[in-house]
Amino acid sequence: MLSHKDSWFLVLKDKGKTGVGECSIIEGLSPETPAQVEAALPQISTEIDLGLDVLYQKYAHMPAIQFALEMAFGGLQSEDPFVFFDTPFVKGQNPLVINGLVWMGASHFMQAQIEEKLALGYDCIKLKIGALDFDLECSLLSEMRKRFDKSSLQIRVDANGAFLPEEALEKLERLAQFDIHSIEQPIAVDQWEAMAHLCAVSPVPIALDEELIGRHSDEDKRALLKAVRPQYLILKPSLIGGWKGANHWVELAEEYSIGWWATSALESNVGLNAIAQWCADKQVTMPQGLGTGQLFTNNFESPLYLTGNLLGYDPDKDWKFKF
């Protein structure tokens, strides 16, 4: 289990205003390495007068850097460095519905998490699968379904590419017995033919996640969606080029009649806030994957709050972030 994660913060100051952007990466998943980030940020400090558009293009292959730049420049353009979109959400209204995330681990550990989420009132739970014996994972899902039918509890699963192509359909057919809403990335990336076949015949709708990382051009993104035809996309701004990258995927998803939702990628409350506000601006209705901020022992105090399965923003509460 991940017990440590680095983030870097880009702070811009101009004419009495401040902007703060978080560069958050997950080693082994993000295109950037820590060394690349630590080399890029000092360089950016000498190039900041080039402006957001030029810098965004220059760092096209470093999506977490792009997102940090968007946040920092966005803060400079706002009366509040942490408010980017004028929505009811930042005025303390219309909190976002989120899913409850259950991490992989021993069965008793996962069961305890499930019970905790259910007790808090979550009606959408996402389970990471693929680390345990598959029979054991199915047993956990079966017990959940005995207590809650699909009308009262939505179950999402995320395999993180753990299934082999030759076994995936059989496993998806077993998962379908439990009225699973969707499965993220059942097989590993860059197996388009196999993934396309699964998306066409799977009884469980398939969402692409890791498959989106590293795809920068419109041509490349369209090629993926045309070839694979998934039912859903999972959008993680720190991994796909921030708001701009996510907006492009949303446009394509709508064009190809593909559903989507956003998920945080272990950002601190700074990055989580930026993603939540973008979701609110999109007027999303599906549960979003935005509950990871509570995992940290040293997170920043912020106006964000969790009440059951709702992520809200309290405009009367201050950020505890030293500029």
Tokens of 141: 């899902």
- Counting residues of the chain whose pLDDT is more than 90, the rounded percentage is 85
Select from 3.40.1190.20, 3.30.390.10, 3.40.430.10, 3.30.465.10 the CATH code of 7-76: 3.30.390.10
> To the nearest 10°, the Cα dihedral for 158, 163, 166, 168?
-30
* pLDDT at 295 > cutoff 90: no
Options 117, 171, 221, 236, the catalytic residue: 236
Mean pLDDT for the chain? Answer: 94
- Told to judge if 58 belongs to the known catalytic residues of this protein, a careful annotator would answer no
- Counting residues of the chain whose pLDDT is more than 70, the rounded percentage is 97
Cα separations in angstroms, 66 against 193, 219, 226, 236: 31, 20, 26, 13
Residue range(s) occupied by CATH 3.20.20.120 in the chain: 88-313
* pLDDT at 293 > cutoff 70: no
How does residue 294 score in pLDDT terms, banded at 50, 70 and 90?
Answer: low
> What's the pLDDT score for residue 258?
98
Residue range(s) occupied by CATH 3.30.390.10 in the chain: 7-76
The answer to whether residues 18 and 9 touch, using CB atoms and an 8 Å cutoff, is: no
Options 126, 128, 221, 282, the catalytic residue: 128
Q: Is residue 190 within a helix (H) or strand (E), and if so which, with residue range?
A: none
Q: Considering only CA atoms, which of 194, 196, 203 is closest in space to residue 228?
A: 196
Q: What is the pLDDT of residues 65-103, one digit of tens each?
A: 999 999 999 999 999 999 999 999 999 999 999 999 988
* pLDDT at 56 > cutoff 70: yes
Q: What is the pTM of this model?
A: 0.95
Q: What is the pLDDT of residues 161-180, one digit of tens each?
A: 999 999 999 999 999 999 99
End-to-end, the C-alpha distance of the chain in Å comes to 31
Reduced to 3 states (helix: H, G, I; strand: E, B; else coil), residue 131 is: coil
- Told to judge if 236 belongs to the known catalytic residues of this protein, a careful annotator would answer yes
> What's the pLDDT score for residue 103?
81
pLDDT (average), residues 186-197: 98
Cβ-defined contacts of 222-227 (< 8 Å, 24+): 222/252, 224/192, 225/252, 225/253, 225/256, 225/258, 226/256, 227/192, 227/193, 227/196
CATH of domain 88-313: 3.20.20.120
DSSP 198: H
